[in-house]
Amino acid sequence: MEPPTRILLISGSLRAGSTNTALLQSAHALTLEGVVTTVYDGLTSLPHFNPDHDVDGEPLAPAPADLRAQLDEADAILFSTPEYAGALPGSFKNLLDWTVGGGTYHKPVAWVNASASPTGAAHAHDSLRTVLTYTGTDIVERACTHIPVPRSTIGPDGLVADPAVGERLADVLTALAEHVAARRRADHA
């Protein structure tokens, strides 16, 4: 029997009531056979990235160490981020900077775009693609998608109330899990 696929869900937003966070919380609430999700909630506690504090052989501060531990435990990562001033939010870029030293190399990754705007946060996702390519991730194109989430569809529980969104999120998680399973089979062939 194949082990479950562990997918780490990371929102690039610090905002209370964030559509990106609601989208990932909704993904976390799904029950899919063979898929286990974890929501990363340490974005606010990450210190500013400084290469002087990321030296091989020396211990990391607790927050970046926790981030890297969660990345290492995950089989895949699903991001959702807003766009600020035409690019990635600074706090989210800071998180990505902490991944350069470990945790994402060759890791299958994807993103869902929650923006209800006509541009769909395209600049943020172009920036995200640039960073993820630079850090050597395995971008799973068929799991990268735009799922607009108007704020009015977020329920009091913080989840997206639209069942069609749940179906699309299930497709995204399934695509990531299938990609991980295919890599596992290839590694054991």
pLDDT band of 172, cuts 50, 70, 90: very high
What is the distance between the alpha carbons of residues 165 and 163, in angstroms, rounded to a whole number? 5
Task: Name the pTM for this structure.
Answer: 0.96
Closest CA to 99 of 127, 128, 68: 68
Average pLDDT over every residue of 85-97: 94
Q: Is 99 helix (H, G, I), strand (E, B) or coil?
A: helix
Average pLDDT over every residue of 35-51: 97
Q: Is 88 helix (H, G, I), strand (E, B) or coil?
A: coil
What is the distance between the alpha carbons of residues 126 and 139, in angstroms, rounded to a whole number? 13
Range of the domain at 46: 5-187
Average pLDDT over every residue of 121-146: 93
Work out the mean pLDDT of the chain and round it to a whole number. 94
Q: Give how many domains the chain has, as a whole number.
A: 1
Read off the CATH number of the domain in which 16 is found.
3.40.50.360
> Half-sphere exposure of residue 157, counting CA atoms within 13 Å on the CB side?
9
Q: What percent of the chain has pLDDT over 70?
A: 100
